[in-house]
């Protein structure tokens, strides 16, 4: 019985060493970049809403967008309208880290012709 216990202890120790990188990889896939950098959030991360910068960038307003939106923002300068549009984009692009990571994995990982367009 004691011998079996020792065998299990040795094998479990080995298994922990083997599994550690997989654990990290899976845990990181749930977390936001900030949580990874700070090393917080446990295994699943806090799943706080985060802004998808790529989504914001996609909606980066140009002159035409500012001109189209100007009736919605009377008496404001182009600069102010632009900032307001960016703020709208930021408000429209929040995501939970887990959704963000896995969406990106499916939309960007197979990086064929689409990656260079954005």
Partner 1 sequence: MAIDETHTPNVVSAETAQHRTALWLTAPALCLMILILLVPVVIAGILSFTDYSLGNDTFNWVGAKNYDRLFSRSTYEKMFIATFTYVVTVVPLSVGLGLGAALLINSMGRIGDIYKTIYFLPVMATLLAMAIAWEFMLHPSIGMVNRTLEMSCGTVLEFIPFLKNGCAERFPLWLGDRDYAIWVICFIGVWQGFGFNMVLDLAGLTGVHRELYHAAEMDGAKSAWERFRLVTWPALGPTTVFVVTISCIRAFQVFDTIEAFWPQGGGPNKSTYVMMFAIFEKGIQQNLIGIGSAITVLFLVFVMFLTLIQRWLVERKVHY
Q: Which one of residues 1, 2, 37, 62 is an interface residue with partner 1 (CB under 8 A)?
A: 37
Beta strands in 1-118 (DSSP E): 50-51, 94-95
How far apart, in whole angstroms, are the C-alpha atoms of residue 105 and residue 30? 12
Q: Rounded to 5 degrees, what angle do the CA atoms 53, 55, 57 make?
A: 70
Give the tokens for residue 44. Answer: 């699943």
Site for partner 1 contains 25 (CB under 8 A): yes
How far apart, in whole angstroms, are the C-alpha atoms of residue 116 and residue 109? 13
Site for partner 1 contains 74 (CB under 8 A): no
Site for partner 1 contains 106 (CB under 8 A): no
Closer to partner 1 by CB, 37 or 64: give it. 37
Region from 9-17, 44-52, 71-79, 107-115 binding partner 1, contact rule CB under 8 A: 9-17
How far apart, in whole angstroms, are the C-alpha atoms of residue 26 and residue 40? 15
Site for partner 1 contains 21 (CB under 8 A): yes
Contact residues toward partner 1 (CB under 8 A) are 4, 7, 10-11, 14-15, 17-22, 24-25, 28, 36-39
């Amino acid at each position: 019985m004691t011998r079996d216990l020792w065998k299990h202890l040795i094998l479990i120790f080995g298994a922990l060493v083997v599994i550690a990188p997989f654990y990290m990889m899976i845990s990181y896939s749930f977390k936001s970049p900030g949580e990874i950098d700070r090393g917080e959030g446990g295994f699943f991360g806090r799943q706080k809403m985060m802004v998808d910068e790529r989504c914001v960038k996609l909606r980066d307003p140009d002159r035409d967008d500012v001109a189209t939106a100007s009736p919605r923002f009377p008496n404001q300068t182009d600069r102010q309208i632009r900032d307001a549009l960016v703020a709208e984009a930021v408000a429209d692009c929040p995501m939970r880290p887990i959704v963000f990571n896995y969406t990106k994995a499916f939309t960007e990982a197979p990086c064929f012709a689409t990656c260079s367009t954005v």
